[in-house]
């Protein structure tokens, strides 16, 4: 069960991400904006052809290729990792796959689909559940790696 936990968390991340995206397409599809914390945090539907902060809009296929390599390669890394990093990497894998699904199956089509984003952070950027999993996973992995005591070799 311990080795399967990262994959369960990753699959749960993918499922939640895709369900929230489907909800957003229906609930926010008419251009609605739902304020959660005033303008600081709101919901609005955006289709992102690029990466984080809409960088690389003209290179969607490159981003798709990188996401595919990460999505296929990360399970191998997870299987070989110690328990704590593997659990963290499960979230990173889930986030990568969640956005890859959009790039493969959403308009304008394979492999240049646009990622569905809906969480607006005060107009600075708009993200989704997969993005949250990726960011939290990477930050947690960095904190884990920099916070642990190096093992002594004899």
- Asked if 102 is an active-site residue, the reply is no
17, 102, 117, 120: which is the annotated catalytic residue? 117
Residue 95 makes CB contacts below 8 A (sequence gap 6+) with: 13, 17, 129, 130, 131, 132, 133, 134, 137
d(CA 109, CA 95): 20
Whether residue 17 lies in the annotated active site = no
- Is residue 45 exposed (0-12), middle (13-18) or buried (19+ Cβ within 10 Å)? buried
Residue 127: count other Cβ atoms within 10 Å of its Cβ. 21
Which one of the listed residues 17, 102, 120, 131 is annotated catalytic? 131
Residues carrying an active site annotation:
117, 131
């Amino acid at each position: 069960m311990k080795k399967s936990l990262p994959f369960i968390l990753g699959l749960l991340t993918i499922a939640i991400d895709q369900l929230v995206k489907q909800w957003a397409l229906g609930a926010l599809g008419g251009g609605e904006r739902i304020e959660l914390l005033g303008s600081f945090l709101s919901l609005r539907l955006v289709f992102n052809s690029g990466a984080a902060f809409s960088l690389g809009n003209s290179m969607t296929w490159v981003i798709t290729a990188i996401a595919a390599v990460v999505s296929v390669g990360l399970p191998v890394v997870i299987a070989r990792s110690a328990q704590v990093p593997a659990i963290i990497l499960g979230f990173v894998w889930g986030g990568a796959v969640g956005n890859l699904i959009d790039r493969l199956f959403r308009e304008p089509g394979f492999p240049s689909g646009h990622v569905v984003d809906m969480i607006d952070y005060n107009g600075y950027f708009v993200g989704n559940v997969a993005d949250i999993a990726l960011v939290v996973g990477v930050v947690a992995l960095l904190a884990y790696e920099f916070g642990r005591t190096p093992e002594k070799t004899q």
